[in-house]
A = this chain, B = another copy of it.
Amino acid sequence: MDTRTALLDSAERAARQRGFDAFSYADLARDVGIRKASIHHHFPVKADLAFGLIERYAARFSEALTDIGNTYDTGAEKLRAYHQTYRNALADGSQLCLCVSMSAGRDSFAEPVLDQLNQFHEDSVAWLTQVIQQGIADGTISGVTAADADAQATLALMEGAQLMARAASSLSPFDKATQAFLDRLV
């Protein structure tokens, strides 16, 4: 495998488990099997690594949402798949999805990284708004008054539920927090 990719993989794992500021180039070097200095060839400064991570993540997530849109028909089915994506990212409660991790530690990031992060949030809300509107139209989601507010609430719920699950090192707070959301779907 490509060294750059191996570095991104290792960094993503570390960032999701321990936070972006909690791993060092030394950790990365140990994990990937090269020397610290070699990492700087691929990511001159750590901000480049942060940007590389969020960039790849946003691209992958965007693909995943497109896949969900193509695979499922009803609004409810798509929202269940979206929920499952966040649930899977938790694993056994030991890691967050990268965007929650980076949202939480946002102070160490420079403008370009924050822009990507906020763009990701906006894209998510836009996708959710569309899917919720479809769910209203096809009658597979109940209890919605404003689709865009509901979309923002859904994203906040997923991210918050991840945070609590991780604090407890258990999936159950996530499942309990998202139960009512799932119950609104046919």
Contact = CB atoms under 8 A, between A and B. Distances in A.
Interface of A: 17-19, 21-22, 100, 103-108, 114, 117-118, 121, 143-146, 148-150, 152-153, 155-161, 163-164, 166-168, 173, 176-181, 183
Contact of A153 (B104, B152, B166, B181): B181
Contact of A22 (B21, B159, B173, B176): B21
Contacts of A156: 157, 160-161, 163-164, 173, 177-178
A163 B105 contact: no
B114 A179 contact: no
A106 B159 CA distance: 15
9 contacts: A19-B107, A21-B22, A106-B166, A143-B143, A146-B179, A152-B177, A153-B177, A153-B178, A156-B178
Most buried by B among A18, A143, A160, A183: A160
B18 A167 contact: no
A21 B21 contact: yes
A59 to B, nearest CB: 19
Given A21-B21, A149-B179, A176-B152, A103 B157 contact: no
Given A103-B164, A157-B157, 6 more contacts: A100-B163, A117-B167, A152-B179, A156-B164, A157-B160, A158-B160
Contacts of A178: 153, 156
A19 B18 CA distance: 13
Nearest to A17: B107
Nearest to A160: B160
A82 to B, nearest CB: 15
